[in-house]
Amino acid sequence: MKSPIPDYLDEILDSVRSDDAGERADYIPELASADPDRLGAAFATLDGEIYCAGDADSAFSIQSISKPFAYALALTDRGISAVLDKVDVEPSGEAFNEISLDDEGRPLNPMINAGAITTHSLVGPEGCSAEERLERLTAGLSAFAGRQLSVDERVYGSELNDAHRNLAIAHMLRSYDILAEDPGVVVEGYTRQCSLMVTVHDLAVMAATLANQGVNPVTGERVVPASVIRQVLSVMSTCGMYDAAGDWTTQVGIPAKSGVAGGIIGALPGQLGIATFSPRLDKHGNSVRGVSLFERFSSDMGMHLMEVPAAARSVLRDHAPSGTETVRIFDLQGSIRFAGAERVVREVVGAEITENRVALDLTAVHSLDDVAGRMLLEVARRLSMEGKEVFLIDPDTVIPDPDPGTDGQLTVVSRGDELH
């Protein structure tokens, strides 16, 4: 049987194909002459499956979509606080090329050009040369894509020739000591970064690496630490679509980044990387058909981040002993996070437990986050301090290394019937 997903993607592409609103970016001559009708989309799942449709092999320059990845590398190389000292994380509500800095000369966020030029200068170890920085940047973005990316020299030359505005921004940054080196060299490097060539297939894998806490789901390589991803996705959701960020967040609700060549990526944490490509742009510099595609994806497939499923109503069954059983068993089930664990805590605390032995049975729990694990262990600790013998039935080790803490006693068993 054929998967319905490529058919779905084809159908959605067809539904936006006739929309020829918008204009190609004309401040970069190479982009102004690009074929405006190309249209492609790709999904990359977190177990490495890729679905492509339309012009999936068509290459285009990454442009501003490079910004979150360069930011991730700078955060990895210099640490979050050193980067925050130079680039803030406040939405600007302004155009991508606005010359806007805060009172200390810091760019408002790493997604507008002022912030991205600064971020570019922070990639690589402190004191590295401009060449070493570019090597680190290209290798890093290639690791996100899972293949070697390269610069299109024509796109690069075409933008650099006329990069007066970015040069003006860089000189401003230099005057505030936000840039510590020759502004011209930094703008050259940043323009090369924007001229790396990608396809929607590459971008979907790059976005999936963000959605997968920094591990490329195709190559299995950890590209950046998970702590960095939280920072990057947060900034993408507040600033990734510039002065259209509010509309995007309410309509689409997926952390995203657009580029003036017509690409858009969306990274749905824990689920999917998405990429679209269509060169005509709206007044914000975002692809017109790309925005429509994302609106469709989000509503058709319930991808809005604020639209989460209702918490499972029942995460616990109190299994009072009968007959010869002498153990009070609490069966837990499903996926348990803070709210589910709070329910468990409340029910165990409220239960009248006359038995000397109490078991928390996690056999039917398929995932449990860190805070839920700690809450359950605290319940176990308190039960054992009240003199109960406490068992944790955890055949799939959903709580690795269970430590019931000071004065707690806990026996871990792999199956419930071991207790009877």
In whole angstroms, how close is the CB of 96 to ligand DON at the nearest point? 4
Are the C-beta atoms of 329 and 415 separated by less than 8 Å?
no
Site mask for ligand DON (CB under 6 A), range 250-269, x = bound: --------xxx---------
Nearer Cβ to ligand DON (281/380): 281
Can you tell me which of 44, 194, 207, 254 binds ligand DON, judged by CB under 6 A?
194
Residue 242 bears catalytic tag: yes
Q: Which amino acid is at 162?
A: D
Residue 176 bears catalytic tag: no
In whole angstroms, how close is the CB of 191 to ligand DON at the nearest point? 6
From residue 256, alpha-carbon distances to 78, 122, 170, 259, 354 in Å are 24, 22, 25, 10, 54
Which parts of 66-105 interact with ligand DON (CB under 6 A)?
96-97
Q: SS3 sequence, 385-416?
A: HCCCEEEEECCCCCCCCCCCCCCCCCEEECCH
Nearer Cβ to ligand DON (66/231): 66
Nearer Cβ to ligand DON (162/300): 162
In whole angstroms, how close is the CB of 72 to ligand DON at the nearest point? 17
64 binds ligand DON (CB under 6 A): yes
Cα 401–Cα 403–Cα 365 angle in degrees, nearest 5? 60
Nearer Cβ to ligand DON (188/361): 188
Which parts of 103-162 interact with ligand DON (CB under 6 A)?
113, 159
220 Rama sector, left if φ>0, alpha if ψ -120 to 50, beta otherwise: left
What is the total count of residues that contact ligand DON (CB under 6 A)? 12
Are the C-beta atoms of 33 and 184 separated by less than 8 Å?
no
Nearest to 337 by CA among 359, 306, 309, 318: 309
> CA-to-CA distance for 368 and 371, rounded, in angstroms?
8
Residues paired with residue 272 on neighbouring β-strands, in sequence order: 45, 268
Among residues 66, 242, 252, 390, which one is catalytic? 242
> CA-to-CA distance for 226 and 229, rounded, in angstroms?
5
Residue 67 bears catalytic tag: yes
Among residues 61, 64, 66, 237, which one is catalytic? 64
Among residues 16, 61, 67, 89, which one is catalytic? 67
Are the C-beta atoms of 411 and 393 separated by less than 8 Å?
no
Which residues are marked as active site? 64, 67, 190, 242, 260
Residues that bind ligand DON (CB under 6 A): 63-64, 96-97, 113, 159, 166, 194, 258-260, 285
